Structure 1
């Protein structure tokens, strides 16, 4: 598949992505666990059908020590025994925050209250920002049809 737009060669795209990446750095440096961050990015990218982000974040997760079993089970996290309660609520929050138009009305009070049991305010802020950010990346890549499969960990570091 050929990309519709060369986002890596466009001066305007470079400016936009520079600012998006700056936000990503703030989130990655937050107290939200790195493994949780990758799981959330993978789950939102699965929902949005973003091959580019799935390629990137599964490889980044492996590079950081994530197991193949957990990565293979992200899409079926409800049935999998390999995730902590905190990771489960983060995945649920990611799903509800990603599927805003599916008629559920956004994030339920129950899911938010459960998330607040596992994460402090700073971690919750990072989690919400991360969900918004990965959805931004997903939309950017899906709209422009960025191809997947060639990402190398650390490629954009």
Structure 2
């Protein structure tokens, strides 16, 4: 399958992507643990049906040393015993922040309080920013039908 539009080569998209990438760099350099960041990106991408981002972030996580078992269980994290309480809190906030229209009032107080138990203010800011950012990337790739499967770790820098 080919993409509907070669979005990332258009001049406007290149400018837009520059700002998205800068936001991603800020989050990646934050005190939010790198493993948690990858889990969040994978889970949001699964929910949004973004094959390109799911492919990218599972490969990046594996390349960084994440185990196959944990990668296979991200979609069913609630039933899995391989995630820390902090990772579970981040995944819960990711789900609610990604499915924001599914619940009246958006993200629930319980999910927020649970995340706040495990992450300080700077980490929470990074987590919220990351959830927003990966949802933006997911939507871009789903809209243009960016194909999945060919990504290689390090391909984009």
What TM-score, normalized to structure 2? Answer: 0.98
Tell me the residue number matched to 2:113: 113
Alignment of 1:128 onto 2:128:
yes
1:2-44 alpha-carbon deviations (Å, 9 max, x no partner): 1011023211111101110000000000000000000000000
Tell me the residue number matched to 1:62: 62
Alignment of structure 1 residues 5-154 onto 2, 5 Å: 5-154=5-154
Q: For the residues of structure 2 that align with 1:91 and 1:103, how far apart are their CA atoms?
A: 16
How many residue pairs match? The answer is: 157
Which consecutive residues of structure 1, in runs of 5 or more, have no partner in the other structure? none
Q: Which piece of structure 1 moves more, 3-12 or 46-55?
A: 3-12
Which consecutive residues of structure 2, in runs of 5 or more, have no partner in the other structure? none
Offset of 1:103 from its aligned partner? 2.9
Q: Which piece of structure 1 moves more, 31-40 or 9-18?
A: 9-18
Q: Which piece of structure 1 moves more, 10-19 or 125-134?
A: 10-19
Offset of 1:104 from its aligned partner? 4.3
Q: Which piece of structure 1 moves more, 12-21 or 100-109?
A: 100-109
Offset of 1:105 from its aligned partner? 2.7
Q: For the residues of structure 2 that align with 1:71 and 1:15, how far apart are their CA atoms?
A: 32
